[in-house]
Amino acid sequence: MSTKKSMTTLAAADGRVDVVGLGIARFPQVNLLPPEIRASRVLGRAKMRLAAALLFVVVLAAAGFVGSALIERSAANELVAKQVEVQRLVAEQAKYAEVPRVKAQIASTQLARQLGMSTEVLWKGYLGAIQAVAPAGVTITELSTQLPGPVQPGTPAAAPLDALSVGSISFVGQARTLPDLSTWMEALNAIPGFADATFNTSELTEDNGVVYYNIASTVQVNETAFASRFVAEAGK
């Protein structure tokens, strides 16, 4: 058992037996290979390492070239796709080239209509209201208006104490008897858009044996009388 243990202890790490430990003298070893062979072997190993490095460089360069080619092809395909999309959008835009001009024309038309109809008065309703508030037995026979146009200034009130107005309406009523003029004027002032109704003249007239009064009156018209139907539309 002791002999095996000593033999194991004398074994070197690389598996070779330590001859010194066995009591055997170590003799100097001489490499009998010629220097040319040793140099050839060293050169061969260097060549192999160099060839491996060169192969690695070639493979790396080839991988870079292939990667660059793929990236370039992908970029070219993307560029073509973008160009096709731009052409499609330009063609699509051409379909609606008239839209801005049409919208401008519509806006211009709306502004023109707003200006042209800015002094519009719905006369049917007002004529009916004037006749409705007239006293019993009074018939409106004549009516005239003094109202501004779209680009004209309003007509100032005739009397300094009258309310602000844009024009006036003058009319003549015919009656067999003279009505209550004060009540009539108050009824006219109650109509929206009317103010400062005044009695002007009352002329007794005879026609074919029929005697009647021609009663001339005037009422001021303010901006409330304007229909303003297109003001809201122009603001959209």
Report whether 198 contacts 185 (CB < 8 A): yes
Q: What is the set of domains in the chain, with CATH numbers?
A: 123-227 (3.30.70.2830)
∠ at Cα 155 (196, 179), nearest 5°? Answer: 30
Angle of helix 123-133 relative to helix 181-189, nearest 10 degrees, comes to 150
Name the stretches of the chain with pLDDT < 50. Answer: 1-15, 17, 234-236
| pLDDT for res 29 | 60
- Alpha-carbon distance of 109 to 2, in angstroms, equals 124
- Determine the distance from the C-alpha atom of residue 192 to the mean position of all C-alpha atoms in its chain, rounded to a whole number: 41
- Alpha-carbon distance of 186 to 175, in angstroms, equals 18
> In the 8-state DSSP scheme, what is residue 177?
S
| pLDDT for res 152 | 66
Q: What are the structure tokens assigned to 7, written together?
A: 């033999």
| pLDDT for res 88 | 86
| pLDDT for res 188 | 94
Closest of 224, 219, 226, 223 to residue 158, by C-alpha = 219
Element (H, E) at 181: helix 181-189
- Alpha-carbon distance of 155 to 196, in angstroms, equals 14
Q: What are the structure tokens assigned to 196, written together?
A: 């400062």
